[in-house]
Amino acid sequence: MKQPFFYGKDKLTVQKAISLAEGGLEGKLDPDVIGRIQQSQQHIQHMADTNKTVYGVTTGFGILANTRINDADTATLQYKILQSHSVGVGDPVPLDIAKLMLITKVHALAQGYSGIQLSTLQRILWHIEQNVIPVVPEKGSVGASGDLAPLAHLFLPLIGLGEVFYEGKRYRTQEIFKQFSLQPIQLGPKEGLALINGTQFILAFGIKAVQRMHNCLEAADVIGAMSLEALTGTKAPFDERLHQLRPFEGNTLVAQRLRLLLADSEIMQSHMDCGRVQDPYSLRCMPQVHGASRNAWKHLKDLVEIEANSVTDNPIVFGEDDTISGGNFHGQPLALPLDYACFASAEIGNISDRRCYLLLEGKWGLPMLLMNNVGLNSGFMIPQYTTAALVTENKTLCFPSSADSIPTSLGQEDHVSMGSISGRKLNRVIDNLEFILAIELMSACQAIEFRRPLKSSALLEGAHDFVRQFAGFAEEDRIFADDINSIKNIISDFSFVRKVNELAQSLGIKLNEGFEAYQ
C-alpha cells in the first residue's frame, strides 16, 4: 500500500514531489483541507453573487482589470482566459515536468486561499492518478503573472480542449474524454484565473533541476577522485584541518567525501614520496569548486521548497469580503537562484573538462591520449573535443535570464522575471553536464587501468567495475559515442551514484555524514 501525501496539509519537499510524480506516494485530500477549499470557494461565490468588484471575478485581466464583467458573463470569462492565454510554442515539456506542474498546483490550490471548486481539484487529481498528462509547450512564459501560457495549456483539458499524453500516445482531449466517459467541467468564478496564475512551470523545472544537479554533484566527486587517482595526485589538499580554516559547508562536505573515497588506496600509497609539490587546480581545488556549486544547489533547494508550499495565484482570498490583489505570482524568488545554479552546474562541467585534458597529456606515467598505440589510433583525444564543445555551449547558456525584463500587458506588467527561461536553461546545462561527466568517467576508468596491478580504494574500484559493465577498456579506437552514451545513461538514471552509495553503505562508510541538509 502506498504511503499517503495530503495536499494542502503535508509539507511538500523535492523528494516527495518526485515520489508523487513517479507513483511512490499517493496524493489525497483530507477532510480539514476539503473544508477549507469549500469555504474559500463559497467566499468567492458570495463576491460574485453580490457583484463586488474583485479582480478576475467581476473584472477583466491584466490591463483590463478596470473593465467590469456582467453577471451573465462570469463563467464565460473563466473559460475564455484559458483559451486566450494558450499561446505557448515549441516542443512539449517532458511528461514528468507537466506532471510536477499538476502536483504543485494542486498543493497550492488545496491550501484554501484560491476559491477553487473541490470538483475542479478532483478532476486535476484524476489526471495525475490516471497519468493523462496535458501537452504543455515549452516556450511562452515570462514568469511574472505566473506562468500564464504554460498553465493555460496545462488546464485546457479541464474544459475539454487541448491535448494530452496517455500511454505513450498524444490525443485530443475529447478523444480521451470519450474513452473514459468524462465531460468537461464548468469553471466557477475566479477559477480560470486561479489555475493560470502561479509559478508551477518555473517550480517544476526547479524541482527537477534540484534532483538532477544533486546527482551530478555526487557523481562529480567520485569521478574527480578517480581522475586524481589515475593522475597520481595527492589527497593532502582535502585535509580536514585545512577546511576548518575556511569552513564553507559545501567545501567541507566535498573534502570529507574525497578523503573517504580515497581511503586505503594502494595507488595513493605508491607515490607518497614522489616529490611532486602541488597538483593542478582541477585536482587540488575540487573542494572549493565542487563545494561552491554544492552551496548554490543548497540555496536553490531551500527556495524551491518554500515555493512548493506557497500560494502563488492572485487575488488571494482571506474571507468573505476579504481579498488581496498582490504579486505572489512573480517568479523572481526562483529566477535568481535558478540562474545561480546554472552557473554552478556549468562550472562543474568546466573543471571536469580540465581533468579530461590532464588525463591526455601523457604525464606522470600515463600514455599520451590514454592509449599505447597512438598515431594509427587517436585514442581519447577526440572525446575531449566534445567536452570542450559542451563546456562552451554551457557558457553561452549562462547569461542570466533574470537580468532581463520586457514589459507586457500594455505596461501593467512592467517588470517580469523570465524565471521560466532560467529553469529551462538550467536543465539544458545539466543535460550537457551529464555528458561531460560521462566522458571524464570513461577517461578516468581507462587511465586507472594503466596503474595496474595497483588498486584504488574499495569504493573507487567498485565504481570502476560498475562502469565496465557498460563500456570496456579500449585497446584501440572505436566508436566512442556508444561508450559515452552508455555511461551517460548510468549517470542520468542515477544508477552510478546509487551503486557507489550502496557500496559505501555495505562497507560502513558514511560519505555525507553530518551534512543532512545537503541530501
Residues recognised as catalytic: 55, 85, 197, 281, 284, 329, 413
Nearest to 120 by CA among 134, 102, 132, 136: 102
CA distances from 269 to 99, 365, 397, 508 (A): 50, 16, 42, 22
Nearest to 355 by CA among 221, 250, 502: 221
What size, in residues, is the chain? 519
CA distances from 80 to 159, 187, 198 (A): 10, 10, 18
Please give the Cα distance from 374 to 333 (Å, whole number): 52
Please give the Cα distance from 97 to 93 (Å, whole number): 6
Cβ atoms 71, 54 nearer than 8 A: no
Nearest to 37 by CA among 130, 113, 141: 113
Please give the Cα distance from 224 to 452 (Å, whole number): 19
CA 41 to chain centre: 33
Question: How many Cα atoms are found within 13 Å in the side-chain-facing hemisphere of 170?
Answer: 8
Cβ atoms 324, 313 nearer than 8 A: no
Per DSSP, the three-state class of 89 is: strand
Residues 6+ apart with CB under 8 A from 229: 262, 265, 267, 268, 444, 448, 451, 456, 460
Please give the Cα distance from 99 to 131 (Å, whole number): 8
- For the stretch 125-129, contacts whose Cβ atoms lie closer than 8 Å and that sit 24 or more positions apart, written own/partner, are 125/27, 125/29, 127/102, 127/157, 127/164, 128/20, 128/27, 128/99, 128/102, 128/103, 129/27
Q: Which residues pair with 5 in a beta bridge?
A: 27
Nearest to 331 by CA among 56, 160, 146, 456: 146
